[in-house]
Amino acid sequence: KAGVTQTPRYLIKTRGQQVTLSCSPISGHRSVSWYQQTPGQGLQFLFEYFSETQRNKGNFPGRFSGRQFSNSRSEMNVSTLELGDSALYLCASRVAQSTDTQYFGPGTRLTVL
Amino acid sequence: DAKTTQPPSMDCAEGRAANLPCNHSTISGNEYVYWYRQIHSQGPQYIIHGLKNNETNEMASLIITEDRKSSTLILPHATLRDTAVYYCIVRLSHYGGSQGNLIFGKGTKLSVKP
């Protein structure tokens, strides 16, 4: 079974721009979560989507948003990019049942100049 | 905040067992212990999880104390490729579905040396 895939793997943007990252979950997985990883803050939860609805949200500003499509694929968007948004953005998918396990993708490395 | 405490770093000789401790003294009855590892700049990799009993899979063994306040991840024969940051996470799981928000601490940086 193919793992979680994320595109693009690397991205360079400038301050003020916006960016969209994509995540394809493992086949049969209905939930997608997004995380941001920076050297200073570590791995932090952004939000989770299930059945095209946001289920949980971390403590991030409204510039960070996401959506999920009917095929469970998910996108996250960051508007008005700031230098501090430079990070590894990770997507994780799970079946969405009790005691299920999250599996992570390889991440998208975003650099904001 | 993370509900676990781990040593920031550990060394292990190649071929020897690596024993990574984790303290989770405030764990509640329906919280599982999960272990992930992250090799430099890659996505975290699931290793193992457990509730009360010891668990073993092809990657590792998980030993949970009887009072569930601490656990140990054991890599039986560490190789250089096991060098990574290891995260211990407690996660609520309940009927109807668990939460999809893992709370990561700083983890333990394991260095396997030849």
Instruction: Inform me whether the pLDDT recorded for B3 exceeds 90.
Output: no
Please tell me which of A37-41, B16-20, B102-106 the model is most confident about, judged by mean pLDDT: B16-20
- For A46-60, the pLDDT digits (tens) are 999 998 999 888 999
Chain B residues with CB under 8 Å of A45 CB are 101-103
Among the ranges given (B27-31, B55-59, B85-89), the one the predictor scored with the smallest mean pLDDT = B27-31
A58 or A1: which leads in pLDDT: A58
| Residues in a beta bridge with B71 | B22, B64
Q: Indicate the residue type of B104.
A: F
Question: Cα(A26)–Cα(B17) distance, rounded to whole angstroms?
Answer: 32
Contacts of B43 in chain A (CB under 8 A): 4, 90, 92, 104-107
Model confidence at A98, pLDDT cuts 50, 70, 90, reads low
* Per-residue tokens: B47: 């290793």
Work out the pLDDT band at B95, boundaries 50, 70, 90: very low
Q: Closest partner residue to A45 among B42, B43, B101, by Cβ?
A: B101
Which of A56, A88, A99 is nearest residue B100 as measured by Cβ atoms? A56
Report whether pLDDT(A109) > 90. yes
The answer to whether the CB atoms of B95 and A98 lie below 8 A apart is: yes
pLDDT digits 0-9 by tens, B45-78: 999 999 998 999 999 999 999 999 999 999 999 9
At residue A77, what is the residue type? N
Cβ within 8 Å, pair B104-A44: yes
- Inter-chain residue contact B45 with A104, CB threshold 8 Å: yes
pLDDT, residue B98, reads 53
More confident position, B101 or A87? A87
Task: Provide the residue type at A32 as one letter.
Answer: V
Closest by Cα among B32, B22, B53 to B99: B32
Q: Which of B63, B72, B66 is nearest to B23 (CA)?
A: B72
Q: Give residue-wise pLDDT tens across range A14-32.
A: 999 999 999 999 999 999 9
For every residue of B3-71, DSSP letters joined together read S-B--SEEEEETTS-EEEEEE-TT--TTEEEEEEEE-TTSPPEEEEEESSS-EE-SS-EEEE-TTSSEE
Quickly state the pLDDT bin for A99 (edges 50, 70, 90): low
Best mutation target, A43, A47, A74, A101, to test chain B (most B CBs within 10 A):
A43
Residue range A77-89, pLDDT digits in tens: 999 999 999 999 9
The 8-class DSSP code of residue B81 comes to G
Q: Which of A33, A42, A103 lies closest to B46 in CB terms?
A: A103
Among B87, B93, B103, beta carbon nearest to A99: B93
Pair A27, A93: CB distance under 8 Å:
no
The answer to whether the CB atoms of B32 and A42 lie below 8 A apart is no
pLDDT at B28: 85
Could you report the per-residue pLDDT of B30-46, keeping only the tens digit for each?
888 999 999 988 999 99
